[in-house]
Amino acid sequence: MYDKDKLKEELTLDEIKTLLVELGVQHIETHESKGHIITNTICHNVSDGKMKLYYYIDEQIFHCYTSCNENFDIFDLVIKNHMLKGKKLGFPEAIHWVLTTLGRPSYMVKPKGFGHSHIGRREELDWLDSLKVKKSVILDMKVHSEKTLELFSDKPHPLFLEDNITEDTMRKFEVMYYEKTNRIVIPHRHYQTGKLIGVKSRSLDFQDIDNGYKYIPLRVQDVTYSYPTFQNLYGLYQNKDIIKRLKRVVIFESEKSVMQFESYFPNYNFSVALCGSNVSKQQVQMLVELGVQEVVLALDKEFTILNTPEANLYREKLERLCSMFSSYCKVSMIWDRFKLLELKDSPSDKGKEVFVELFKNRRTIHTKE
């Protein structure tokens, strides 16, 4: 038995959010005054679920308001979510996953009844030490062999061509096709080293898509090509030089948008993707260190009608993300005032002209200081 309750009590709300992002939630709404946060469901589907997974901050309990209708804690959620991705975790492994994902040493979890019944002085010191580990610690990311890419065919897939992504772009971003599982594959490279750290795949089977498996990490035999996406920015490796030169960056949610940008402005691509809809402290740091002086947040549209509670909530969320950059540089956000996009569209989805229009009309966020 492990002391999961103690660990659970130690987890801050920020850490819960980090874990959720790492499990693959695409959206988080914070309603701290109401004592909960809401995310898209990742308990019974892997992605693109509805905003029906609630986390009650004081109770440290999740509830899924769908037919799933279950209560569970963070460890149960880690187990459920891994199960959906085809990975069976036991309880100790779930705890280990939580600790390593947060950059905390895993040894802090001691089996109950280890040695004396009370915590010894040395152990107590270890425990205190372990809490000092900085949250922003960069985890070692597993590097995959380049040989992995030989499994795929580089014939450009018509689905991406139809989605405003050119063949040249697909070549630049190494988008390929994996026949064995009928998926388009998108290699992810480390923003600094360029090493292969993950492979995202897009399913082409309707059944998978219906079940929320549209974009998931690729699995080949026993290897899942996933990594902590909050410690990287997709496209930064490829677009670093231009971003550095222009001192400007556009931040999208998904890989596809970075590729659309490339297709609209070949070799003039100053965009990156979060691979989610949350910005981590590490991601802010990556861009600040490059000398970026203007950040344009270009996340997917999450409202239908302006000035509704839905739109206002979304605006608050974007403003919160903008504020993460505002002490370092100028920040603006794409805000679709003129109904150029539909719900869930990325600002790059409707072609070059619409994107340029949205970009020109972006809203500058003024810092409070």
- Contacts with Zn ion, residue ranges (CB under 5 A): 41, 43-44, 64, 68
User: What is the rounded (10 degree) CA torsion for 214, 218, 219, 223?
Assistant: -150
Nearer to Zn ion, 72 or 359 (CB): 72
CA dist 261 and 121 (Å) reads 57
DSSP-derived letter for residue 348 is T
Report residue 45 as tokens: 């589907």
Closest CB 28 distance from Zn ion, rounded Å: 16
Between 41 and 201, whose beta carbon lies closer to Zn ion? Answer: 41
Q: How many CB atoms within 10 Å of residue 20?
A: 25
**Residue 186 in contact with residue 203, Cβ under 8 Å?**
no
DSSP character at residue 200: E
Indicate the DSSP class of residue 133: S
Least distance in angstroms from the C-beta of 50 to Zn ion:
9
Q: How far is the CB of 310 from Zn ion (least distance, A)?
A: 22
CA angle 254, 17, 28 (to 5 degrees): 55
DSSP strand pairing (248-252 vs 271-273)? parallel
CA distance 157 to 177: 7
Task: Considering the complex, state which of residue 43 and residue 199 has its C-beta at the smaller distance from Zn ion.
Answer: 43
Instruction: Say if residues 214 and 47 touch (Cβ distance below 8 Å).
Output: yes
C-alpha 56/C-alpha 279 separation (Å) is 22
CB of 43 to Zn ion, least distance (A): 4
State which residue, 66 or 361, has the beta carbon closest to Zn ion: 66
Q: Tokens 């970009």: give the residue.
A: 359
Q: Counting Cβ atoms within 10 Å, is residue 308 exposed (0-12), middle (13-18) or buried (19+)?
A: exposed
Q: How far is the CB of 68 from Zn ion (least distance, A)?
A: 3
Phi, psi of 331 (to 5 degrees): -130, 140
Q: Kindly tell me which of 43 and 216 has the beta carbon lying closer to Zn ion.
A: 43
Looking at the Cβ atoms of 84 and 286, the one nearer to Zn ion is 84
What's the closest the beta carbon of residue 51 comes to Zn ion, in angstroms? 12
- Write down the least CB distance from residue 211 to Zn ion, Å: 12
- Residue 68 or 151: the one with the smaller Cβ distance to Zn ion is 68
